[in-house]
Amino acid sequence: GDSVTQKEGLVTLTEGLPVMLNCTYQTIYSNAFLFWYVHYLNESPRLLLKSSTDNKRTEHQGFHATLHKSSSSFHLQKSSAQLSDSALYYCALKGTGNTGKLIFGLGTTLQVQP
């Protein structure tokens, strides 16, 4: 079945260093839709990025990701971490079929330290 893997549960960085959060997925659907959601403490999870286009870079709010269907990956990156980036990040895959449901990874907590 469909699945999303985020191997890192916690990533701790010093402010100013680059960010890379890993996401890989499995699906039989050739037209996969991938999403990154960010969840700040005491707020609602909200969309950060989404893509269904192979090898096209998608950017928003300083973050970027490129969907690589050949490696089933959609890693989230940022050139320079900020303290305000500290949050829980979810990678998600739109499941096959017509349910519209998203399958989420376990999430990666990003902690940015001064």
Binds other proteins by CB under 8 A, chosen from 14, 28, 30, 46: 46
Q: Which of 112, 114, 96, 109 is nearest to 6 (CA)?
A: 109
State the DSSP code for 97: S
| Residue 100 sits in the site that holds other proteins (CB under 8 A) | yes
Q: Which of 36, 80, 40, 79 is nearest to 58 (CA)?
A: 36
Stretch that binds other proteins, among 17-25, 44-52, 57-65, 67-75 (CB under 8 A): 44-52
Binds other proteins by CB under 8 A, chosen from 75, 90, 93, 112: 90
C-beta separation of 32 from 94 below 8 A: yes
Residues that bind other proteins (CB under 8 A): 6, 9, 31, 33, 35, 37, 43-47, 50, 52, 90, 94, 99-107
